Each structure stands twice: as structure tokens, then as C-alpha cells.
Structure 1
Amino acid sequence: MLHGLTTDQRDAQTAFARFTDERLIPHAGAWDHTERLDDAVIKDLAAARWLVPTLPSEAGGTGMDVVTYGLLSEELGRGCGSVRNLVAVQGMVAHAVLRWGSKELADRWVPAIGTGTTIGAFALTEPDVGSDARNGTTTARRVPGGFEITGHKKWLSFAQRAGVFLLFARLDDDPAAFVVERDTPGLTVSPITGLLGLRASELGEVVLDSVVVPESSLLSHGRLTFDLVATSSLDYGRYSTAYGSVGLAQACLDATLDYTRTRTQFGVPLAEHQLVRQSLTDMITSVEAARLLCHQAGIMRATSHRDAIRQTLIAKYFASQTAYTTATAAVQLHGANGVGPDYPVQRHLRDAKIQEIIEGTTQIQQLQIADLTLTHR
């Protein structure tokens, strides 16, 4: 429980928790199995204006403050990581178009994404380019009336249902960002299935075979495009992933507390064994610490503090590792039941591993946190 929240933030947190308990937790296992979210839950998120809640009301959001958005991310992450991921990606795309796009692009796409009329996807990663995202090989060239784009993107969350892509390419040897519609001739989407975790995130890969887009589709072009558009979008998603990792870790802790209270071995509940209590203490402490780091990052982001980016990196780095270590401990304390289909901790473990990869791997963040600290402190 965080102290210092306003009454409105606590009320919102209660509403988020209720939504998670009623609409996510009962269905998350089925979504994981089918590798797809129900259309109904997306409609529910849109009706609550939680798909991109940080947008203004006229664009489908609620004008939600940064701290409250973190609380939402935690609760969604507690219930279903893929739903949390959906909300994060919609925010990454919508805010990039709103901030960097023309009025024409913003008017057309931001309300559509905010209200769920159109699902967006963030098209940065390529088959041979992951962490080294600046060196993507997708290219664009000028043609009469627009641009011709050729390339290959992979590991795109919600590409299977996306109607529009925020896509990065190289134009005149400088980075560029485009808004590309799904039904553009030459653009092909193929589903990616059989993932380790976040299976309901409906991943896909996109092949662009001489795809021609109009001049108006260009969002940004120039040597600073990657830093301004891609990096700021990833920072938005990283904050959500950090808080979502706390929610996932809390789900593991909740499940383990319930299990160890009721599971009896050697004549007493598991929770009465000292080594079990040691594991529980490590889990409890790590979850609380991760939550506090995320809250600190949220406050800094809300006040535009100059250290907000570094604090977000620290929060995501620690919280994602906490999610994985807590999920591992949860499976261990569940014993054979932990690897079976009847308890959620095996799904949590698979999802937790993904948290250490998306929005910057643990290893990349080790470099970034050290670099920023050495340079600016």
C-alpha cells in the first residue's frame, strides 16, 4: 500500500482492482491458452477510457495523471500482462502521433486509438535488429506524391489486430517515422504464435514490399527522430512495464500466501516452515521495494524532473527482475502444482521472463543506468 496518494488516486486504484478481479483474472488463463484477447475486454477498456487514459477527454482518454496511470498499469499487470501490454502500446503510438505528427495525422488517428476504433502497433524491432534498434534496415525512398517503404518488422505486439502502425525506417540515411495503415498494398502481416509468455499479446511480423504511402504519413524525419519519437515512446512503455511487473509480482505473492496458508506438509501448513517464511519475506520485501521505486519514478515524471528517465530505467530494471525472481519462488513453493495447469503461477513465471526483455533488456538497462549516472551525477 502506497502512502501519499490523493483521495482521487485511491478511488481510482480501487476501481482498477475491481476491474482486474472481475474482468481479467477469471479469463487470463483462457486468453493465454488461445493466444488472443477477447474483443469484449478491449471494448470494456475503451468504454472506461482506459485504453489511453493519459490522453485528453476529447481524444478518448481521461487526462489521467502519471501516478494514477502507474496504479492502473500495476493492477492490469496483476490480472493479465497482455492487457497491460495492450494499454501500454496504445499509449506509445497515440502519444507519439499526438506530439510529433501533423494536425491531420493527430485528428485522424489519436481519437481512433484512444476510443478503440483502431488498434495501433509500434513497429520498431526487426528480425536482425533488437536492442540495436537505431540500425534498422527498413528503408524509405521518395517517390512522386509520397514514399516507398521496403523492409521487415518482427515481434510487434498486437500486429495481428492492428489497423495502423507507427513504423520506423531510414530515409535519406536519417531515421524517419511513418504512420502506415494496415490495408496499404504491399504490407503483409503474419501472426507469431507459441510464445513463452504474454501469449495473448497477438504478436506478428510485418513485411513491406515496396509499400507506397502519401507524404502526409511522415511523422518525423531527421537525425533526432529516433531520440525524440522512438526513445520517448519506449520511455512511456517502460514506465508501464515497470509498474506492470510489480502487479505481476504481487499476483505471485498473493497466490503463494494463499497456497502456503492452506497446503499442509509434515502436519503443518507450509507457511509454518522457517525456510518457507524466509522465501516469503524475500518476496514481500522485493515487491514493496519495487513498488516504491515505481512510485518515485511516477512522481518525478509528473513533475518533469530532470532525473525522471533514469529513475524510470531503475524502476523497470528492478521491478522486472523482481517479477521473475518472485515468480520463480512462487513456482518453487507450489511444488509440482506450480508447474501444472491448475494454478496461475506457471503462467506468471512465463510472463515474468518477458518483462526482462521488452522495453529494453536487463543488460541494456545496466548500461543505460550506469551511463546516465556516470554522466550526470
Structure 2
Amino acid sequence: SFGTEEQKQKFLVPLAKGEQLGAFCLSEPQAGSDATNQKTRAVEDGDSFILNGTKSWVTNGGEADVYLTMAVTGEKDGRKEITAFLVEGGTEGLTVSSVEHKMGQRASQTCEMSLTDIKVPKANVLGERGGGMKVAFSSLDNGRIGIAALSVGIAQAALDEAKNYAKDRTAFGQPIAEFQAIQHKLADMATEVEAARLLTLRAASMKDAGNKQTGTYASMAKLFASETANRVCAEAVQIHGGNGFSRHYNVEKYYRDARITTIYEGTSEIQRIVISRGILKL
């Protein structure tokens, strides 16, 4: 909804086909939940902009073909004017300054990216000048539904592992699945996973329909599904007992992978702010 037809053909089509990888560059060392506190600058230079700054927690950093990057292009009414840029991978001056050694979700590379005198043509401005946060927040709505779906997947995997383990593991002469304490854990886990799945599907259907309340429901889905993933994975480890603390069992990995879901794409605390504003119409 923001790109020109030329931008869509050049960037969106290969991304949609899976031929290229994209990256989202919003966070900075001092700008996490306070996303507008940007220090990366873009200075006009003829038919281009020159970008300088640092971006943190960039998924696919160093691997992406295009980086959706937010930078300050000036001030308007006492506020920073933030603009979105499509920075092509391999652009001179775009480098990986450090690779994060993460607790979980280690299959994707997460980096800090340095932007040093990067030249970006004006044709690669996404949306209008000063409309960067509108682009960013629109992306976050989509991303939050995606993280909700990811969280449901992790939680379902942990539930399946816990259920199977409870049937196989014996204690006091019977499978631990025969004990009511374990049964109640599994019942609560299954109920929460199903509720998270349905809320995620509701948010996704609202997005498809162009519903104006999508942002609120995307935050609801992201909040509930991510918190559910953390609770379910913790219970899955508990059901495994000491074995759950061992890397020989998958629940240990799911527990680590789930932890970030309440943090990225907006923390649980931020989601509650978005939801409350949405229902109170603030």
C-alpha cells in the first residue's frame, strides 16, 4: 500500500516468490520500545539520500537482499521527521558490526548493522517523506500476527512433546499421564494453545478484510499467543522433569525459542498499551 509499481516489481515480487530475503531496520541501541527515538540520519544529496547510523536486532542482517530502514530526514512541528528507505543489500557502507549470540531462535542470523555514508536513491524512498513511522507501524501489525502464529507453532510443538512423553514415561508403576496433576497441566496447555490459535486466525482474517481494528486485534493475538507459548513451554519442561533440562529433548529448545516472543515486534507491555488505547479509543 506504500510502494510504487516500480518498487513492487523490483523488491516485492522476488520477496513474495522467496527468491530474496528482506530485513527490517527500526530498532537502534537507544530506540527499542521508544521506536521514534531514532538517531540514524538521512541527508538529501541531489537525487539521493546519504544515510549514517546504527541499527540493532536486525533479523537476516548480512544475509538480506533488501533492508527496510527508518532514518530521520529532518524535523517538523518540533518532532523528528522519519522516512522509510529501501536499502539494497551489498550497498557500499552497509556492514555487519556484530552478530548476536542468542538464547534461542538461532537458525536466523540477528545482527547490529552499521550504515556509513550509504547512498540511497530517492526512488527507494518507501511512501512519502516523513511517513516512515506509518510504514513501520503497518509492518508491525503484520509482524505481530506473524509472531502470534509462530508462538502458536512453538506452543503446539511443546504440547505434543509433553503429551507423548507423559504417555511413555513411567513413575510409581504407571505412565505419568495417568496422574491427575499431569492431566490437568496438559488440559490447561491444550486449551490455551487452541485459544491462541483462534485469536491469531481472527486477527489474520481482519487484516485480510481491511478491518480498521486490525492493529488492536494483532496486538491481542501477539500478546496472548506469546505469553501462552512461554507458559506452555515452561510446563512442557516441567512435565519432562530433569530430562526437560537436557538438550537431548526438544522441549529445552522450544523453551528458549519461546522466550523472545514476548519481546520482539513489541513487548507484552507495549501490546497492552496498544490494546487499551484501541478499546478506549484514546
Distance 1:299 1:105, change over 3 A: closer
1:122 corresponds to 2:29:
no
Query: How far 1:204 sits from its partner (Å)?
Result: 1.2
1:359 corresponds to 2:265:
yes
1:164 corresponds to 2:71:
no
1:197 corresponds to 2:104:
yes
TM-score, normalized by length of structure 2?
A: 0.94
1:301 corresponds to 2:194:
no
Query: How far 1:363 sits from its partner (Å)?
Result: 0.6
1:109 corresponds to 2:11:
yes
Is the 8 Å Cα contact of residues 151 and 207 (structure 1) preserved in structure 2? yes
Q: Which of 19, 36, 53 is the matching residue for 1:134?
A: 36
Q: Percent identity?
A: 40
1:13-24 equivalence runs, <5 A: none
DSSP-derived class of the 2:127 partner: strand
DSSP-derived class of the 1:318 partner: helix
Query: How far 1:308 sits from its partner (Å)?
Result: 2.1
Whose helix proportion is higher, 1 or 2? 1
Distance 1:108 1:303, change over 3 A: closer
* Structure 2 partner of 1:148: 50
Distance 1:245 1:103, change over 3 A: same
Give the whole-Å Cα distance in 2 for the aligned partners of 1:179 and 1:303.
27
RMSD over equivalenced CA pairs, Å: 1.5
Deviates more, 1:258-267 or 1:214-223: 214-223
Whose strand proportion is higher, 1 or 2? 2
* Structure 2 partner of 1:341: 247
Is the 8 Å Cα contact of residues 101 and 220 (structure 1) preserved in structure 2? yes
C-alpha distance after superposition, 1:188-239 (max 9, x if no partner) = 1245242011111111111011112222121134444312x10111111111
Give the whole-Å Cα distance in 2 for the aligned partners of 1:194 and 1:116.
26
1:288 corresponds to 2:194:
yes
1:191-340 equivalence runs, <5 A: 191-227=98-134, 229-340=135-246
Is the 8 Å Cα contact of residues 246 and 287 (structure 1) preserved in structure 2? yes
Query: How far 1:265 sits from its partner (Å)?
Result: 0.7
Give the whole-Å Cα distance in 2 for the aligned partners of 1:346 and 1:155.
23
Give the whole-Å Cα distance in 2 for the aligned partners of 1:342 and 1:324.
20
TM-score, normalized by length of structure 1?
A: 0.71
* Structure 1 unmatched ranges of 5 or more: 1-98
Give the whole-Å Cα distance in 2 for the aligned partners of 1:363 and 1:372.
14
Equivalent residue pairs, number: 277
1:182 corresponds to 2:89:
yes
C-alpha distance after superposition, 1:100-125 (max 9, x if no partner) = 12222222112222233321111111
* Structure 1 partner of 2:78: none
DSSP-derived class of the 1:133 partner: coil
Give the whole-Å Cα distance in 2 for the aligned partners of 1:217 and 1:163.
14
